[in-house]
Amino acid sequence: MTSARKPWLLIAPSLALALFIIGYPVFHMAYQSLHEISRFGVVRGFAGLGNFTGIFIDPVFHATLLRTLIWTVAVVGGSLLISMPLALILNQDFHGRSLARTIIMLPWAVSLTMTAIVWRWAFNDEFGMVNLSLQALGVIDKPVQWLASAALAFPAEILVGIMVSMPFTVTLLLGGLSSVPQDIYEAARMEGATAWQQFRLLTVPSLRPFINMAVVLNVIYVFNSFPIIWVMTQGGPSNSTHILVTYLYELGFRLGRPGQAAAISLIMLAILLAFTWLYIRMQPKEEAA
């Protein structure tokens, strides 16, 4: 066996498995999106771009596309904004640090589905503990209908989204902070740099690759995030909380429009590919390995 072939033999099983499980569905969805398909999956004929034009004149799709953008930016941005100070605190040496780290990481361990179920109950307008606690604290004076109103359900879901994305982001940033050499801080202090200057001029630049990675992976996860919205509101009330993944699921498995659902999948795929391509382009060139 030549040594040029050996690594390929080693990666072949993983490559084959991933290519098969991803390749076939992508191919099939491309086929579906170009055909007219009954709700029972029977192909009625070639539809050309009919499914795509159907989607583009669907007002729910437009609102959903915009909402997906808001969802992704708000959750990714929000989790980065609170993860940065959290990582800086957890990187300090203080009593009970490992306990604090464990608590902050905890939402990661609970499945999104379970989190969504618990919050759906906690946000219950009559008997939920969110209203109970906020009333006890005097923040609100009468129960709020969290998930039954279009104006509140989506922001509530964004907050849950931020909470579950935060542990992963903190972990990446903590890994980054532990790789920053400490002697540069000593040198900076000797030069009389303030804490803010040290943060802005030393910490942020050394963390940049980790911040980039956190943004890219979070955008991918959050853009594709299904359970929180599906379990908490199923896209309702009156389609006001749908994002693309929940809408495509509803089209494909509830409303019997699989062709249009496949079209949305492909549109999402294109958005993600464009995003990843942009990211790879922005990366500094890797060594020619």
The kind and range of the H/E element at 35 are strand 35-37
| Cβ atoms of 148 and 204 closer than 8 Å | no
Rounded distance between C-alpha atoms, residue 63 and residue 25, angstroms: 27
Residue (79 or 154) nearer to other proteins, CB: 79
Q: How many residues does the chain have?
A: 289
For other proteins, the closer CB: 154 or 171: 171
Task: Give 113 or 197: the residue with its C-beta nearer to other proteins.
Answer: 113
Cis peptide before 237 (omega within 30 of 0): yes
Shortest spacing between CB 288 and other proteins, in angstroms: 9
Q: What are the residue ranges of helices labelled H in the chain?
A: 6-33, 50-56, 59-90, 97-109, 112-122, 129-136, 150-178, 183-190, 195-198, 204-223, 227-232, 244-249, 258-282
Q: How far is the CB of 96 from other proteins (least distance, A)?
A: 7
| Residue 61 CB, nearest approach to other proteins (Å) | 16
Could you tell me the smallest distance in angstroms from the CB atom of residue 192 to other proteins?
Answer: 20
User: Three-class SS of residue 37?
Assistant: strand
Residue 188's φ and ψ, nearest 5 degrees, are -65, -40
Least distance CB 116 / other proteins (angstroms): 9
Q: Which is nearer to other proteins, 184 or 268 (CB)?
A: 268
Q: Considering beta carbons, is residue 132 or 201 the nearer one to other proteins?
A: 132
Tokens 């464990």 appear where?
102
Least distance (Å) from other proteins to the CB of residue 256?
Answer: 12
